[in-house]
Amino acid sequence: MKHLAVIPGDGIGKEVIDAGMEVLDAISEISSFNYDGEFLDIGSERYLKTGELLTDEDISSIRRKDAVYFGAIGDPRVKPGVLEQGILLRMRAVFDQYINLRPVTSWFPLVPLKREVPFDIRFLRENTEDFYMGAGGVFGGSKKDAHVSVRRELYDLEIELGTNSSDGDDFAFEIGLLSKKGTTRFADYAFNYAGMRGEKRLTLVDKANVCTHIYGMQRTIFEEKAEEYGMGLDFMFVDAMAMAMIVRPETFGTVAVPNLFGDILTDLGAQLQGGLGMGGSGNINPNGVSMFEPIHGSAPDIAGQKKANPIAAILAAQMLLENQGYHKEGSILKKSVRHCLDNRFTTPDLGGKMTTEEVGKAVCEYILNQKK
C-alpha cells in the first residue's frame, strides 16, 4: 500500500488532479498497485483565508508519505511569488528534491515541427539552487551596500554579503548560487541516469560564456564526473539549445540543465509535445519524498471551463508509478495516453472537443480494458 499526499492546489490544478486520481484508481483496479491518498488543502484559497502557505503540519504529514501528487498553484489575486515561493519552491527545498525530471517526448503526429522526427529528451533540471534560492534584495539610498542571506541545510552555512544597512531601493539583485556539493550530486545523478538509459554521453546546458563563475564551476565538476563515469559530455549554451531543440530535437538524450534555464527550456519542450498540457514532471529526492506534478501552472485563463488537458497530470502520475517501482503499470498508463492521442480523444488545446473529465475517462476506459 502506497501512501500519497494529494495537493490539487489552484485553478486547473484541481481539475487535472481529479482526472489523474481517477486514472490511479483505474490502475489500482487492474494491478497490484494500491494506494491511499490524503488530500491537503494547500493553495491560494487557504492562504487568502488564513495566511498559511506550507505549515509545519503539512510538512510533517508529507514526510510520512511515499510520494506527493501535486496539481498547480498560482492565483491572480495573490502577488506573484508569494504562493510560488511559499509553497512550491519551499516544498522542493524542504524535501530536498534536487532533481526535476522533465521528459520531452514526441507524441507523433501532434508535433508542431516541420520535420516529423521521433525524439525523447530527458531534461534533468537541477531543482534547489541557481537563481531559485531567494537570495536577493533591494538596496540604495546614501549607503549603497547590499545584504543577502542564504540558508540551506544542505550546506549548514549562512552566507552574508555586505551589511544590513541598506536604506533605499535604487537597485534590486538576485544571486544565482551553485554549491560544489549540490552540483556534484546533480552530476552524479545525471551520469547515472544517462548510463541507466544506455547512453554514452550527456549534454550540459549553461551560459558559461556570461555567468562564468557558477557555470564555470559546473562545467569543471561535470568534466571530472564525465571522466569518472567514462562518459562523453557535450556543452550547449542555453540560447543555442533553444534553437537546437527546434531544429534537431532527436539528437538529444539526457540533458542536464541548471534551474532557471531548465524552467524555460521545458516549457519550450512541452510545446514540442503538443502544449503545456502534455508535460509531466517529477521533483525527485532519491532518498526522500518525491513530488510529481504537471509542469504547467494554474492557468487562470481557462480555469473552471473544463478544457484543461489532463494528460500532463496523468503523465506525472505515470512518473510517480515508475518512481515507486510500478513499471508495468506505468507503461500501461503511457499506452493509454497514446491510445487517446491516436483516437483524438483530446481537449481543445490539441484540437479535440473533449472536456478534462472526458479525456480522463477515456484513459481509464483503456486501462480497465487491460484487465486480464
| Residues engaged in binding ligand NAD (CB under 6 A) | 12, 16, 72-74, 84, 88, 276-277, 293, 296-302, 308-309, 312, 349
Q: How far is the CB of 155 from Mn ion (least distance, A)?
A: 25
**Among ligand NAD, ligand IPM, Mn ion, none, what binds residue 89 when CB lies within 5 to 8 Å by partner kind?**
ligand IPM
Minimal distance, residue 41 CB to ligand NAD, in Å: 16
Footprint of ligand IPM on residues 322-361 (CB under 6 A)?
A: none
Residue 277 touches which of ligand NAD, Mn ion, ligand IPM, none (Cβ within 5-8 Å per kind): ligand NAD
Kindly tell me which of 88 and 194 has the beta carbon lying closer to ligand IPM: 88
How many residues bind ligand IPM (CB under 6 A)? The answer is 6
- Name the residues that contact Mn ion, by CB under 5 A: 263
Name which of 88 and 256 has its Cβ closer to ligand IPM: 88
CB of 200 to ligand NAD, least distance (A): 33
Question: Shortest CA distance to 290 belongs to which of 189, 202, 363?
Answer: 189
Residue 343 CB partners (closer than 8 Å, separation 6+): 362
Residue 88 interacting with ligand IPM (CB under 6 A)? yes
Minimum distance of Mn ion from residue 295's CB (angstroms): 6
Q: Does 111 bind ligand IPM (CB under 6 A)?
A: no
Q: Is 295 in the site for ligand IPM (CB under 6 A)?
A: yes
Taking the complex as a whole, how short is the minimal distance between the CB of residue 267 and ligand IPM, in angstroms? Answer: 7
CB neighbour class for 336 (10 Å; exposed up to 12, middle 13-18, buried from 19): buried
- The residue ranges that bind ligand IPM (CB under 6 A) are 84, 88-89, 263, 295, 297
